[in-house]
Amino acid sequence: MDLFSHSDDKQKAETRILELRVQIEHHNKRYHEDESPEISDTEYDMLFAELQKLEQEYPEYKAAESPTQKVGAQVKEGFKTAEHQLPMLSLGNAFSREDMEEFIQRIQRYLNMSDFPELVAEHKIDGLSCALHYQNGVLVKALTRGDGKIGEDITENVKTIHNVPQKLKGDTLPEFVEVRGEIHMYREDFDAFNAKQAKAGKKVFANPRNAAAGSVRQLNPEVTAERPLSFFGYAFGVKDESLSHLKNHSEELEIIKDFGFRLPESVKVLKNLDDLFKNYEQILKNRKAGDYLGQKAYAIDGVVYKVNDLTLQKRLGFVARAPRWAIAHKFPSEQATTRLNAIDIQIGRTGVATPVARLEPVNVSGVVVSNATLHNEDYINERDIRIGDTVFVERAGDVIPKVVSVVPQMRLDHTQKFVFPKHCPSCQSPLVRLEGEAAYRCENHFACPAQLEESLVHFVSKQAFDIDGVGEKQIKLFLELGFIKNPADIFTLLNYKEKLENLEGFGEKSVQKMLQSIEESKHISLPRFIISLGIPLIGAQLAEDLSAFYLSLDNLIDAMADDVKKQELLNQDAFGQKILDSLCAYFTQEQNLQIIKALQNAGVVIEAYEPPQIEDNIFNGKTIVLTGTLVTMKRDEAKNMLKSKGAKVSGSVSSKTDFVIAGESAGSKLKKAEELGIAILTEEEFKKLL
Ligand SMILES: [Zn+2]
């Protein structure tokens, strides 16, 4: 045995341990106190795990002041503090199946049992833990986790969170109970909030948790009140005798729900390892697909497991900073930090010029990311994102990866501001930014190579001309062979019949079928024709509304060239200035009018508009008001659904209102509806009726 190398290793370990402690303390401070992290959660977890491992191997260097022995954050100056009667610890982490197996074995060893200890699995919400104290059912105090023993008193701030009950529901309430849970932001609330911050030149947060923490730890509750915070309950802390009959954690959760708290829909009781891993994979899959079991998307960074039996929980107790009876199996972080090397412009189907970040390739939850969207010019400027910066990249669900923010502390000297180009990189025509719009566009449409292929694919698609046998692959090929140069050429493909039949993958029969489908598609409804043009912002619903208003394409084109007629459109409920601008820009461009003419010359006939038939249903012809926050769908979605059922959606309640659909925290409109005796539907009832 080589004694020298052994002591060498030991020395190296000691140095590394000290190094890691300093690094982790630094990141703790950035994360918990300043709410501006410099590294992603995964990178942090890796440092932490390395330190834990070294301290286990070299127990002589263990120390009480090591971050592995401490919980969370220091108390922020300016806050009153209070002690937790029951410590509020953080959870140990598992990163692999082996870690989870070890967790189970540890429990079995400790309790000297061989059975699988029944576990409750819950989403690990990426927010800020908080303890709420209820005296006779009334919220009297709210504390942050703090260092686990002493937390910050954030009572006034928490009172502003819309779904934290000020009073618990129920007839017999405990004299005292502490409900613990997570303050968080739903994804869409976070995105909207961050965009608002950026626009105002204020701090942009890297993730929903930092935003939630930064919002609730405000000295002025009025600031907190303006932030879109929400709350999920997850456990009891201290509870009085009246709840001592509860045997299981899953029963606790039921009571918490009955008290009026929202719980994530994911709670599951598990009886063996197989189910545990299956459940984990399912949650991971759902997160990827953006499926939150009927709720709006929120940030989850893993699955929490707790021993269900409360007596066993008590017996298992705690080690250092974490309970023995619970663990968090973490997901790979959806974020990473990397260098932004360059910014390019991509022209999309509708001509939108999107800046794309070229990144130093980086692994984000298992996928190497080297490109990410920067959305638009304002997004870059508001966040002061420069070429050469270190940035946070995020890949959440199936959404395209995006640059979230820069890491300002990591900015080097020679970063470069990005100047948005003046010309389309594909056709060199000027890029135009319409008033009130964030995006630059190339307005060349079918005449811009970057837009032509995708425009044509859209043109033949189901919702437009609906031509069988022509899709992306065929369009690409026909363009390459020079059979088509614009949409009108599709209707003269008959001229290439023989050549087509001799192409690989095309038989006589399939060419025959394709040409027949092209022939049949020539008679097209007005809404479909409008969709086929690919006008920015004009989707199926608006195309339908436009058709109903103008009845013919000529009327629409005429109106767009006439200042008085143009304004008439704005008086319609469905159309705003942006949509009008987009229509005007399209129908006043000579090239676009020529394309329409060419289509008509090629035999396209636009049929006279016929309003769609609506099947009889309870909403048809009714006037409906939406109020409060809908949990399972966006308001626009609800509006469109109602419209498609023939309902009129109005903004205010009057005696003419037939129904009011009331979401969470509905206010004055709901009151007025009650006064007027109008039928009120909950979100659930509404969905059932749909
Ligand atoms: Zn172009």
Quote the tokens at residue 341.
Answer: 């090397």
Distance 349 CA to ligand 1 centre (A): 10
Distance 447 CA to ligand 1 centre (A): 8
Last residue of a domain, one of 365, 398, 433: 433
Distance 353 CA to ligand 1 centre (A): 9
Distance 524 CA to ligand 1 centre (A): 28
Q: What is the dihedral of CA 472, 478, 481, 483, to 10 degrees?
A: -160
Q: Which of 70, 124, 306, 402 is catalytic?
A: 124
- Indicate whether 123 and 195 sit together in one domain: yes
User: Which amino acid would we find at residue 440?
Assistant: Y
Mean pLDDT, the chain, integer = 89
Prediction pTM value? 0.67
Helix (H, G, I), strand (E, B) or coil at 171: coil
Residue at 87 is within a domain: no
Asked if 187 and 291 touch (Cβ cutoff 8 Å), the reply is no
Last residue of a domain, one of 572, 606, 640: 606
CATH number at residue 498: 1.10.150.20
Known catalytic residue at 565: no
- Indicate whether 237 and 115 sit together in one domain: yes
Quote the tokens at residue 7.
Answer: 């002591």
Residues having C-beta closer than 5 Å to ion ligand 1: 424, 426-427, 442, 444, 448
Residue at 82 is within a domain: no
- Indicate whether 23 and 149 sit together in one domain: no
Residue at 614 is within a domain: no
Residue at 356 is within a domain: yes
- Indicate whether 203 and 177 sit together in one domain: yes
- Indicate whether 368 and 426 sit together in one domain: yes
- Indicate whether 597 and 650 sit together in one domain: no
Distance CA 299, CA 623 (A): 36
Distance 389 CA to ligand 1 centre (A): 29
Q: Do the strands 176-184 and 605-606 form a parallel or antiparallel pair, or are they unpaired?
A: unpaired
Residue at 54 is within a domain: yes
- Indicate whether 669 and 630 sit together in one domain: yes
- Indicate whether 131 and 231 sit together in one domain: yes
Q: Any residues with CB less than 8 A from the CB of 121 and at least 6 apart, and which? A: 266, 267, 268, 269, 270, 276, 279, 280, 283, 303, 304, 305
pLDDT at res. 4: 52
pLDDT at res. 536: 83
The neighbouring-strand residues paired with 606 are 524
Helix (H, G, I), strand (E, B) or coil at 335: strand
Residue at 438 is within a domain: no
CATH number at residue 392: 2.40.50.140
pLDDT at res. 240: 93
pLDDT at res. 330: 92
Q: Do the strands 335-347 and 326-330 form a parallel or antiparallel pair, or are they unpaired?
A: unpaired
- Residue 681 exposure: Cα atoms within 13 Å on the Cβ side: 19
Say how many domains are in the chain.
5
Please choose, from the candidates 222, 257, 210, 220, the residue with its C-alpha nearest in 3D space to the C-alpha of residue 236: 257
- Indicate whether 456 and 573 sit together in one domain: yes
pLDDT under 70: residue ranges of the chain = 1-6, 72-75, 573
Asked if 14 and 58 touch (Cβ cutoff 8 Å), the reply is yes
Q: Which residue has the tokens 């669900």?
A: 397
Distance 486 CA to ligand 1 centre (A): 14
Distance 421 CA to ligand 1 centre (A): 12
- Indicate whether 552 and 627 sit together in one domain: no
CATH number at residue 656: 3.40.50.10190
Distance 429 CA to ligand 1 centre (A): 6
Residue at 84 is within a domain: no
Angle in degrees, CA 445, 448, 450, rounded to 5: 105
pLDDT at res. 189: 95
Query: Which ranges of 471-507 would DSSP assign to H, the alpha helix?
Result: 472-481, 497-502
pLDDT at res. 133: 97
Could you tell me what percentage of the chain is helix, strand and coil, using 3-state DSSP and rounding each to the nearest 5?
Answer: 40, 20, 35
Distance 426 CA to ligand 1 centre (A): 5
Q: Do the strands 230-239 and 431-433 form a parallel or antiparallel pair, or are they unpaired?
A: unpaired
Q: What is the dihedral of CA 396, 401, 403, 404, to 10 degrees?
A: -10
- Indicate whether 320 and 387 sit together in one domain: no
pLDDT at res. 193: 95
Residue at 513 is within a domain: yes
Distance 452 CA to ligand 1 centre (A): 9
- Indicate whether 34 and 101 sit together in one domain: no
CATH number at residue 122: 3.30.470.30
- Residue range(s) defining the domain that contains residue 350: 335-433
Distance 427 CA to ligand 1 centre (A): 4
Last residue of a domain, one of 330, 350, 370: 330
